[in-house]
């Protein structure tokens, strides 16, 4: 498995992983109609924009032995300024389900932390759906819950988000 910085030409493959992960990870959390409305085309547009914006955010992808993108992480400076002392934010971290439990999520996370350290950012947060099984993943990596709040309505469901944080990294 290889981890490398993403390029604009990766947008379509990142979008596929993104949509597929939402559909598997959130199938028991979000309403089915929300997940059915997701499209590779819409996410490709999103990732084309994300990958061509120069705002300090970076995306890393994980590739399997065949060179297929099977996971990604993105993040950069925490932009809201509402959660000091957190200077960085992980905005997405997804690994295709067939590659879970191989350490790829942790490798992607650590690669992004290297980027944060190079930017002199030593505290990071990530927002996660409170019912997401990934909460335990972040806790195993040493994250502590920072705040929980109701943030989004998805279809007929009210979903709570929790922010996890790491202080004094690297």
- Which residues on adjacent β-strands are paired with residue 63? 2, 69
Whole-number Cα distances in Å, 7 to 4, 24, 109, 115, 136: 9, 25, 18, 16, 30
124-129 and 88-95 strand pairing:
parallel
Lookup: tokens for 83: 């959660």
The domain spanning residue 39 has which CATH number?
3.40.630.30
The angle subtended at Cα 50 by Cα 93 and Cα 16, nearest 5°, is: 55
Per-residue pLDDT of the chain (170 residues; tens, 9 = 90+): 899 999 999 999 999 999 999 999 999 898 888 899 999 999 999 999 999 887 778 999 999 999 999 999 999 998 888 878 899 999 999 999 999 989 999 999 999 999 999 989 999 999 999 999 899 999 999 999 998 876 777 777 788 899 999 997 65
Q: How many domains does the chain have?
A: 1
pTM: 0.91
Parent domain of 102: 2-166
Angle, to 10 degrees, between the axis of helix 40-52 and the axis of helix 11-25? Answer: 130
- For residues 56 and 112, the answer to whether their CB atoms sit within 8 Å is no
């Amino acid at each position: 498995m290889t981890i490398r910085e993403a390029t604009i030409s990766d947008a379509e493959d990142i979008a596929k992983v993104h949509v597929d992960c939402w559909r598997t990870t959130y199938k028991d959390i979000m309403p089915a109609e929300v997940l059915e409305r997701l499209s590779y085309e819409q996410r490709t547009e999103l990732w084309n924009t994300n990958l061509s914006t120069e705002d300090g955010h970076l995306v890393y992808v994980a590739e399997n032995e065949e060179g297929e993108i099977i996971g990604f992480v993105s993040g950069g400076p925490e932009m809201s300024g509402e959660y000091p002392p957190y200077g960085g934010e992980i905005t997405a971290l997804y690994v295709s389900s067939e590659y879970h439990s191989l350490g790829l999520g942790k490798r992607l996370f650590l690669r992004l932390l290297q980027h944060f350290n190079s930017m002199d950012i030593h505290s990071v947060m990530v927002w996660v759906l409170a019912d997401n099984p990934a909460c335990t993943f972040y806790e195993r990596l040493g994250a502590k819950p920072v705040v929980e709040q109701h943030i989004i309505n998805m279809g007929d469901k009210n979903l709570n988000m929790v922010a996890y944080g790491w202080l004094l990294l690297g």
